[in-house]
Structure 1
Amino acid sequence: MRFARTRRDPVEVNLTPLIDVVFLLLIFFMVSTTFETRQALELELPETTSGAAAEVSPVTLVVTAAGVYRLGERELTPAELASALAAEAEQAREHGLVVEADGRASHADVVRVLDQAGLQGIERVRIATTESRTGETISPQAETP
């Protein structure tokens, strides 16, 4: 006796719901992930109505427009900056460091000075500016904590 065989359809897994779930998980993790945040210097700029000069600090670092650093009478390259600032670090910790940056100096050169000052433990850093009419130095305009 011969029995009639029922024809079976091949078994298939429907991937559409699986793909939908994977995409939803992907979107969830993309939205909820925190991305790299930039570190920034938080400066509280003092308000002043008169540009009074501040006390002169014995440690003044000058940043020229060409990216050359000058500490005292010595001209420094970026590679020499760390060692030269380390030699003056004790006095700068006590009296503070004044950074005189040229208006055309690159932002990276000034940040490099601030970064090296932080590595040396110098907490009082003042950024000096000049008045364009009289050329008189007004310091500090900004002080980092």
Structure 2
Amino acid sequence: MKRKKHTSAEDEAQVDMTPMLDIVFIMLIFFIVTTSFVKEKSLDVNRPEDNQSNNNKPSKSLSIRIDETGQILMGGRQVDVRRVVANAQTFLAENNTDTAAIQAHEDTEEGIVVEVMNQVKIAGIDKVSVLVKKD
């Protein structure tokens, strides 16, 4: 009778990995082929252009003061309510702006403030803010 030689653990148990790798590659090919690539529907966004040169200089807004007696002051001069449009258009010709600030005293009648706002909007300024000065 022949005796068996003791063999090392490496010689006894080996698993052949080739069939498993074949199956993995076949599955990979299957999933790539069966996957459908659909272009998603979306909205196009129109972003405004970046104007760095215009951001450096501050925009000047039209400043109008109305005191408690209803006198309108534009640029340090007293102005009649009917002349607000002309003065605002003159200011717009000299300065590129779309904003105006009306500073009214808290005792000023609301009708005068509303009339000045209407005159400024007629002149072509859309963004008008009203500030109330309290004493």
What is the TM-score normalised by the length of structure 2? Answer: 0.49
- Structure (1 or 2) with the greater helix fraction: 2
